Structure 1
Amino acid sequence: MSQIKKIAILRALQLGDLICLIPAVRALKKAYPRATITLIGLPGQKGFATRFRHYFDHFVEFPGWPGLPEQKPVLSRVTRFLTDAQLQQYDLVLQLQGNGTHTNELCELLGGKRTAGLRLEGAYCPDEQLFPVMTESEHEILRLLKVVHALGVPLQGTALEFPVTTSEYAAADKIMQRLHLTAGQYVCLHPGARDCRRRWSPANFAAIGDTLAAAGYQILVTGSKEEQSLTKAVADQMRYRAIDLVASIGHTGIGELAVLIRGAAALLSNDTGVSHVAAALQTPSVVVFSHFSDPDRWAPLDASLHLTIPAAQSHDLGVVLAAMEKVLQRPLAANKTAAHVVQEQPIV
């Protein structure tokens, strides 16, 4: 494996999934510092590879593949995609998309000298030693590192990363000045999630927001422009003033949002990409899970800084409030406005 000069990684998934990939890529780059690493990802994720340019050298847009749910395959581009990949003559192709259903065969077709990845027990793979068995109960970061370990590559820890540019810091600083935000004195509430089934009720976010506001925190409700109805719903249902980032600023880039999260006293969110950003930036957080997201797989690994609310307890605002008290390291009991708010429906 010492002659590896070209590596391709298939991970055509969303932001949070990509952030969880970084510990594996960090280990590969340390082991093969002169190798070029190509990320094969979803359309629109080239910016992620650029952000992590210290790890990724190239980005290839994935055209999709039959059976994969993340995108509808563009069949007219699949043949060209395979041909171009085979011409690259990769030394190592890594299937880090998922459990290998459909994708292990796909990665073999990319024509690498060696292929490695994850697989289910009893499923096909070209080399059992390079395709460790995964289970659904494993944490996402740790299961990806199993592939790295199978290659004989020393691990470089499980910490996440999210680099931010100087221009993004400058833009975020202007936003903070415009909104009169003071670092460490505001809490971010993020009610959105790509999968609507993972969204906690805006009324619940608003109830916790009121308690935090009563304790003296500024409340910043964050989200994308597509989530404007959610951020507005939270702000509108709060009795205290909240700052709706989308309504106040409009579109905010992920880098600027990361800086805002970094400056927050804490983040309260659903199981979505920003929870991994907070973990990478070591911002204390509470993550509310639904029956459609698995905390064993997706919860931040540092349980001392990030607390998770399982779906079975998501209806109990007292549990969420206690978690917020713990990550903020201060009592909020004297200001428990949430205690007498009618609790909205739990996530189902």
Structure 2
Amino acid sequence: MHIVIFRALKLGDLLCTVPAFRALRKAFPQARISLLGLPWSASFAERYYCYIDDFIHFPGYPGLPEQPVHIEAINSFFYDMKKSHIDLLLQMQGNGSIVNDMLEQLQPRCIAGFCEPTDKRSGSRSFLEYPNQLHEIQRHLALLQHLHIPHDGTHIDFPLTDADGEELEQLSINLTEPYICIHPGSALISRQWPPELFARIASHFMEKGFTIVLTGSTQEKALTTNINRMLRNRAIDIAGITTLGSLALVLRHASGMISNCTGVSHLGAAMRTKSVVISMDGEPHRWGPLDSTRHKTIDWLKNNNYDNVLATASQLIS
């Protein structure tokens, strides 16, 4: 049996789908399960080899903003997918308004997923009306439940490898415990907590004896450099030099993390790192870590009070 999961999105989106991947594998232990996604997620599929057998590169499609669209690549992709004999294609991309008709053209034996209330598929045995109010993790488990596939917990697991440890070792970072990770970046600038507030809270914890470790991608290096300048270069800035696995190890040994509501917040949840997550998009109910004891999500749009963030972080991270 060949099952294909369509999820052509970014890190946080895929981490929130891990519990669904796990449930699917438990329900179909002998199936070949493929992830149809963005190029970067090939390494993600490899890390989760216990749930995902292989990766299929999705070349993009008109209306989807995650990557440029190349029409010739799309035509070749459609041709190859039609020959791959898909038994079940799971649409986990969103409400299906753009992709459902496109996925039908791949000619799977069966297709299931989310749809809008006005979609002709709404109310069928295979399609579930997109549940807007559910957390992203619970949303995909609801789809599986709709298909009579039981879930296997809501926690995010993140397999670590020997290569992750070797990559961290090669960085030769002198991480003095206790330390707190500050991850100030986000995919959109509008979803970033002000840099000066990250610097302010980092300075507070420095005075309490914590080392501050600034994390981020290569694209976020200018942001972390700016924050470190505010801290008179007293923080350890590792933005742009860590891999996903080595960053997970850094988070695993941290006393805590302070970040925007972004993919790394879910990586921290997987590592069981105490965290304060600042939601700048008005959807903390959808994207904040589920464990509200270990992780505190603050809706900045409703309560934009720095002292509240500081008090929450101080109480959580001691």
Note if contact 1:104-1:125 (Cα within 8 Å) is conserved in structure 2. Answer: no
**Aligned equivalents of 1:33, 1:293: Cα separation in 2:** 38
* Partner of residue 210 from structure 1, selected from 203, 225, 234: 203
SS at match of 1:264: coil
If the length of structure 2 is used for normalisation, what is the TM-score? 0.95
For the pair 1:200 / 2:193, whether they are aligned, the reply is: yes
What's the counterpart of residue 220 of structure 1? Answer: 213
Deviation at 1:313, TM superposition (A): 5.1
Note if contact 2:282-2:299 (Cα within 8 Å) is conserved in structure 1. Answer: no
Deviation at 1:233, TM superposition (A): 1.2
Deviation at 1:239, TM superposition (A): 5.4
**Aligned equivalents of 2:82, 2:245: Cα separation in 1:** 34
**Cα deviation 1:144-193 (Å, max 9, x = unaligned):** 11111121111101110211211212332454xx433134x000000111
What's the counterpart of residue 67 of structure 2? Answer: 71
SS at match of 1:211: helix
* Partner of residue 277 from structure 1, selected from 255, 263, 267: 267
SS at match of 1:312: coil
**Aligned equivalents of 1:265, 1:294: Cα separation in 2:** 26
Amino acid at match of 1:294: E
Deviation at 1:135, TM superposition (A): 3.1
For the pair 1:299 / 2:293, whether they are aligned, the reply is: no
Q: How does 1:316-331 map to 2 (within 5 A)?
A: 316-328=305-317, 330=318
SS at match of 1:188: strand
Amino acid at match of 1:120: E
Where structure 2 has 5 or more consecutive residues not aligned to the other structure, the ranges are none
For the pair 1:150 / 2:139, whether they are aligned, the reply is: no
**Cα deviation 1:186-218 (Å, max 9, x = unaligned):** 000001111111111110000000111111110
**Aligned equivalents of 2:52, 2:144: Cα separation in 1:** 16
What's the counterpart of residue 180 of structure 1? Answer: 174
Where structure 1 has 5 or more consecutive residues not aligned to the other structure, the ranges are 331-348
Note if contact 1:289-1:314 (Cα within 8 Å) is conserved in structure 2. Answer: no
Amino acid at match of 2:275: S
Identity of aligned residues (%): 39
SS at match of 1:286: strand
SS at match of 1:252: coil
What's the counterpart of residue 255 of structure 1? Answer: 245
Q: How does 1:127-138 map to 2 (within 5 A)?
A: 128-138=124-134
Instruction: Calculate the aligned-residue CA RMSD, in Å.
Output: 1.6
* Partner of residue 8 from structure 2, selected from 12, 17, 27: 12
What's the counterpart of residue 342 of structure 1? Answer: none
Amino acid at match of 1:322: A
**Aligned equivalents of 1:126, 1:320: Cα separation in 2:** 42
Larger deviation, residues 129-138 vs 114-123: 129-138
**Cα deviation 1:11-65 (Å, max 9, x = unaligned):** 0000110111111111110011010111010122211111111111111111111
Deviation at 1:267, TM superposition (A): 0.6
What's the counterpart of residue 169 of structure 1? Answer: 165
* Partner of residue 309 from structure 1, selected from 287, 293, 298: 298
**Aligned equivalents of 2:62, 2:282: Cα separation in 1:** 24
Note if contact 1:119-1:125 (Cα within 8 Å) is conserved in structure 2. Answer: yes
* Partner of residue 59 from structure 1, selected from 55, 59, 69: 55
**Aligned equivalents of 1:127, 1:115: Cα separation in 2:** 14
Amino acid at match of 1:285: S
**Cα deviation 1:199-249 (Å, max 9, x = unaligned):** 111100000001111111100011112111110111111258211113xxx
If the length of structure 1 is used for normalisation, what is the TM-score? 0.87
**Aligned equivalents of 1:266, 1:55: Cα separation in 2:** 29
For the pair 1:237 / 2:230, whether they are aligned, the reply is: yes
SS at match of 1:128: coil
Amino acid at match of 1:286: V
Amino acid at match of 2:163: S
